[in-house]
Amino acid sequence: MRLFYGLFAALAAALSLLPAAAQTPTPTPPPAVEILIAEPLADYPHDTASFTQGLLLHEGSLYESAGQYGQSDLRRVELETGAVVQQVGVPEAYFAEGLALVDDRLIQLTWREGTAFVYDRQTFERLGEFRYEGEGWGLCYDGQQLYMSDGTERLTVRDPRTFEVVDEVQVRLEGTPVSRLSLQGRPDLTLDRLNELECVDDVIYANVWYTDFILRIDKKTGAVTALIYAGMLLTTEEQAALASGAVLNGIAYDPKDETFLLTGKYWPKLFQVQFVSVKRGQNDG
C-alpha cells in the first residue's frame, strides 16, 4: 500500500509547466490543490462492448451513454450485474457523448454533430433535440445549470431549458490554465482535454481524456481544487487486455453514501470508490 501512495506522490510531483507563454497573473493567491486517490470499495461487472461516454446515477438506476459511430446508444444498467435493462440506439451518423439528467429528461450530447438528443427518462422516447456549436464531450447538471465540456480547458454553462450559452469558465490549476500543464514533462499528457463530467454541489469532477486523472473543479471560478489519481483500479492483467482507446471515463456520484462510481471505455468493471488524501493513506498502517 505504501508503494501505491508513493507511486502517486511521484506522479503528482512530476506535474510540470509546458514551455508556453508567460502565465496570466491572478489577483489573489490560488487555493492549495489536494492530491487524492480513488480508493476502491467494491466492483461490479461492466459491458466491455460499451464505449462509455456519459454516466449518471439516479434513484438507484445507472444510466450510460455509449459512443462510436454505428454503435452509440443510451442505456439503463443494473449496477450489481452490469446487465442492460433498457436501451435505445442512436442514428449511425451520430457519435454519442456526455449525458445529464434535467428533471425527468435525459440530455445526450454528440461529438461532432452539434446535436443533443432529449429523451424521456422512463420510456427513453426521444422528445426533441438541441443544436450547439463545436464539439460535445461531457455534460452534467447541478440543479440549476448545465455544464458542458468540449475537450478543451473551458466549460460552457448552458440554460437547461433552451441549451443556450449563459457563461464560460476557464479551468486553471494554481492560477495557470490547464492547457499549459503536462504530466511527467510530456506535452502529449496535458490536463486540458476535459471529458466526462459530474456535478456535485459547488464542484465539478472531470475526467481528463487519455490520462488516469480526474480534476475537481470549483464551478464558479474554474480553479482546480484537487487532482485525483485513478490509475490503480484495474489489475495489470486487466489493463493489458484492454482494447485500444479503453481509457478511464465515466463518473457518477451516489449521494446516499457520498461515494462515486468510476469506469472506462470498454472496461470489464465499474468501481465504487471514495476519494482519499495521499497523506491520509501514508499515515494508515
DSSP state letter for 30: P
Q: Mean pLDDT, to the nearest integer, of 271-284?
A: 74
Would you give the end-to-end CA distance of the chain in angstroms? 9
Q: Are 53 and 249 in contact (CB under 8 A)?
A: yes
pLDDT band of residue 174 (cuts 50, 70, 90) is confident
- Total domains present in the chain: 1
Quickly count: other Cβ atoms within 10 Å of residue 80's Cβ.
10
pLDDT band of residue 23 (cuts 50, 70, 90) is very low
What is the per-residue pLDDT for 186?
Answer: 67
What is the per-residue pLDDT for 185?
Answer: 64
Q: What is the pTM of this model?
A: 0.89
> What CATH code is carried by the domain that includes residue 78?
2.40.128.630
pLDDT at 1 over 70: no
Task: Note down the domain range covering 166.
Answer: 2-283
Each residue's pLDDT tens digit, 124-163: 999 999 999 999 999 999 999 999 999 999 999 999 999 9
Place of cell 449563459: 166
d(C-alpha 231, C-alpha 227), whole Å: 12
Residues 6+ apart with CB under 8 A from 127: 105, 118, 119, 120
For residue 171, give the amino acid letter: V
pLDDT band of residue 32 (cuts 50, 70, 90) is confident
d(C-alpha 268, C-alpha 101), whole Å: 25
Higher pLDDT, 27 or 221: 221
Q: Mean pLDDT, to the nearest integer, of 169-190?
A: 80
- 273: helix, coil or strand? strand
Q: Are 65 and 99 in contact (CB under 8 A)?
A: yes
Each residue's pLDDT tens digit, 239-272: 999 988 999 999 999 999 999 999 999 999 999 9
Identify the helix (H) or strand (E) that includes residue 115: strand 115-120
